[in-house]
């Protein structure tokens, strides 16, 4: 639940105004809701009250949990204070809470202090909270002392809670009127709850936002022609044989007139289930002075499983695929127009962080233009035909890399709005709350743009609401929410799996593609490796769902693909070390490091005893010794074959 980025909402309304239904509609998209019931059970003989409670219970979905605070009114503040950031709470209602607060059983007590504690807990609460409360201030002053005490206490509670909440809405006859902030306005706000089931508000960032176009007024997005796969020849890895088993074809997809068919339930190959554990077990026997490789032993296990050998070699030929495709609408809020195109052109020219890191790692770089995505909050991001084309295109990219002898693919993206698209995919496939998986928006000047973040949250929320009754199959999610870059990335993962080429993931687009690919072929995630999550919330959640444990925690933010290239030299070094080190002699390894069978010479007779008083006659008259010429003020050589420690050379 989120109302344009606000996490706390107070819903006011009279009796039978529809306030509870409206509050429930605000949290309808949350995967799990904790319903906090504040009202007491009441008189068992009061059938009318029992019917009201039963009606409320019947409306709650089965996935919701219920927590009651009627026994102790002060406990409501504790529930709010202890709520986690990924939780959604619906408190219904404050009227029942005040009733219990005024009960003689809980008196004497400082009611105003208890209300202040509730407001303070709400201000510091990190969860999403919707509170329902009756508005009694529009009627006459009650004629009884108890009635006046209730009205006064509830009025004080409503004022304190409204001041603490991010947004306040008054529901009258089923029609919501937003009171805080005052600028919120939208055509959807005047639609009855019964008709829509959920309400949406405008941007609410201080000025009224533009009205969202209706689906009938939106022109269909023209189909973007995908380019042909570029002919690209990466450098040949040393000692690479033509018949590389890593890139051997493993399956033939069903073919139709339009080409290969990518469909759910494909049987793709799995990595070798025995080679990985054998390689990790072998590490324990290597001749190393310390405790070993630590958590990086997972790199060796992964490489062994994907190469099918217990002694894997370091990846020689690596290709970086940089996907460039923008997402229109609120998903790209906070990005500078044309920035993604500039980054792509920079990479094509061999400049920028990604290109320089690729050059340092000896990796080839291929920039791939993907179809632009339409605003997902108002219409499908891609047409169904574009999704099929993008999947096939990504598959062909992986096949081309495998045919060229590439041993590792690095997947990155640079389009505008990719993080919001990935958040929408995670929300649809893993039940994530958009605000919890959308990272902060950082401007070019290094400042945090919270206004743009709220617009992105609203775009994802509206997209999920628009597609709430749509199928959640892999291709449907790509069409409605994912867009071109996620679709191409999904095709790359599937094609790489079919050709037994491992993929190094980096960033939200690659992980979102991993979530989609598991519904098409569950084997794909086993060919993926995650070097670092970069503290990105979407990457962390998707990695947890896919079972991918990050190898490092460098917290880099150099752009998708660049972070992985920073870690690549270390991963290669680990594989090279594991392949080259011999078994420790105590475990049956060769004690002769030279690999010869000649016994070591006995120097006992030639070495002077260290207990003798003087060792003053070393043999410095060997004929091969040559006194060096002075080399000036810098360091000089100390032997004919010895270089100075500083790296200087004699002139």
- Which are the catalytic amino acids? 560
Q: Are 461 and 481 in contact (CB under 8 A)?
A: no
SS3 8: strand
Three-class DSSP category at 389: helix
What is the side-by-side order of every strand in the sheet holding 364-369? 364-369, 318-324, 408-413, 503-505, 528-530
| CA 3 remoteness from chain centre | 22
Residues found in the chain: 651
Q: What whole-number distance in Å separates Cα of residue 550 and Cα of residue 530?
A: 5
Question: Taking the CB of residue 52, how many other CB atoms lie within 10 A of it?
Answer: 13
Which residues, other chains included, contact 200 with Cβ-Cβ below 8 Å and sequence gap of 6+? Answer: 186, 188, 189, 461, 462, 465
Alpha carbon distances (Å) from 463 to 64, 68, 122, 379, 469: 23, 33, 28, 8, 11
220/204 Cα distance (integer angstroms) = 28
Q: Tell me how far apart the alpha carbons of residues 575 and 286 are, in angstroms, rounded to a whole number.
A: 13
Place of tokens 């390894």: 589
In this structure, are residues 454 and 5 in contact, taking their beta carbons and an 8 Å threshold? Answer: yes
CA 332/CA 421 separation, integer angstroms: 9
How big, in percent rounded to 5, are the helix, strand and coil portions of the chain? 40, 10, 50
């Amino acid at each position: 639940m989120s109302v344009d980025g606000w996490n706390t909402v107070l819903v006011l309304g009279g009796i039978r105004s529809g306030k509870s239904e409206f509050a429930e509609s605000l949290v309808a998209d949350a995967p799990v809701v904790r319903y906090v019931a504040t009202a007491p059970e009441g008189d068992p003989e009061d059938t009318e009250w029992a019917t009201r409670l039963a009606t409320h219970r019947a409306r709650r979905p089965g996935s919701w949990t219920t927590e009651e605070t009627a026994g102790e009114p002060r406990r409501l503040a504790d529930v709010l204070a202890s709520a986690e950031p990924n939780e959604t709470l619906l408190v219904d209602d404050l009227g029942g809470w005040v009733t219990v607060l005024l009960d003689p059983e809980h008196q004497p007590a400082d009611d105003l202090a208890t209300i202040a504690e509730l407001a303070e807990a709400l201000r510091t609460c990190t969860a999403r909270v919707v509170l329902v409360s009756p508005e009694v201030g529009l009627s006459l002053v009650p004629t009884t002392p108890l009635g006046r005490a209730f009205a006064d206490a509830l009025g004080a509670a409503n004022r304190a809670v409204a001041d603490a909440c991010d947004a306040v809405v008054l529901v009258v006859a089923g029609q919501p009127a937003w009171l805080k902030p005052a600028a919120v306005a939208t055509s959807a706000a005047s639609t009855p709850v019964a008709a829509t089931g959920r309400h949406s508000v405008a941007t609410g960032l201080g000025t009224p936002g533009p009205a969202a176009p209706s689906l009938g007024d939106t022109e269909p997005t023209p189909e973007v022609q995908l380019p042909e796969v570029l002919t690209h020849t990466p450098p040949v890895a040393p000692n690479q044989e033509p018949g590389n088993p890593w890139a051997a074809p493993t399956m033939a997809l069903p073919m139709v007139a339009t080409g290969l068919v990518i469909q759910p339930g494909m049987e793709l190959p799995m990595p070798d289930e025995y080679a990985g554990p054998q390689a990790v077990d072998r590490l324990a026997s290597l001749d190393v002075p310390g405790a070993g490789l630590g958590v990086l032993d997972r790199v060796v296990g992964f490489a062994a499983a994907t190469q099918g050998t217990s002694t894997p070699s370091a990846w020689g030929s690596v290709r970086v695929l940089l996907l460039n495709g923008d997402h229109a609408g609120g998903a790209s809020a906070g990005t500078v127009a044309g920035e993604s195109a500039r980054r792509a052109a920079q990479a094509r020219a061999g400049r920028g962080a990604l290109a320089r890191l690729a050059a340092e790692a000896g990796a080839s770089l291929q920039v791939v233009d993907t179809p632009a995505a339409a605003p997902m909050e108002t219409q499908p991001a891609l047409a169904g035909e574009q999704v099929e084309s993008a999947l096939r295109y990504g598959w062909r990219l992986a096949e081309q890399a495998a045919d060229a002898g590439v041993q590792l693919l690095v997947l990155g993206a640079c389009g505008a709005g990719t993080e919001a698209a990935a958040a929408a995919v995670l929300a649809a496939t893993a039940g994530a709350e958009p605000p919890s998986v959308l990272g902060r928006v950082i401007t070019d000047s290094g400042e945090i743009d919270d206004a743009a973040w709220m617009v992105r949250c609203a775009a994802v929320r509206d997209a999920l609401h628009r597609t709430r009754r749509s199928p959640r199959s892999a291709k449907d999610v790509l069409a409605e929410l994912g867009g071109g870059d996620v679709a191409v990335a999904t095709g790359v993962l599937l094609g790489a799996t079919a050709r037994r080429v491992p993929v190094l993931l980096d960033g939200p687009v690659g992980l979102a593609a991993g979530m989609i690919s598991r519904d098409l072929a569950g084997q794909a995630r086993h060919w993926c490796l995650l070097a670092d999550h970069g503290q990105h919330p979407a990457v962390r959640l998707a990695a947890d769902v896919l079972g991918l444990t990050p190898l490092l925690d460098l917290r880099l933010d150099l752009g998708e693909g660049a972070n992985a290239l920073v870690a690549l030299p270390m991963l290669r070094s680990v594989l090279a070390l594991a392949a080259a080190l011999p078994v420790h002699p105590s475990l049956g390894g060769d004690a002769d490091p030279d690999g010869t069978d000649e016994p070591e010479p006995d120097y006992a007779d030639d070495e002077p005893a260290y207990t003798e008083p003087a060792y003053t006659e070393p043999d410095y008259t060997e004929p091969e010794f040559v006194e060096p010429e002075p080399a000036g003020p810098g360091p000089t050589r100390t032997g004919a074959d010895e270089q100075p420690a500083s790296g200087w050379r004699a002139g």
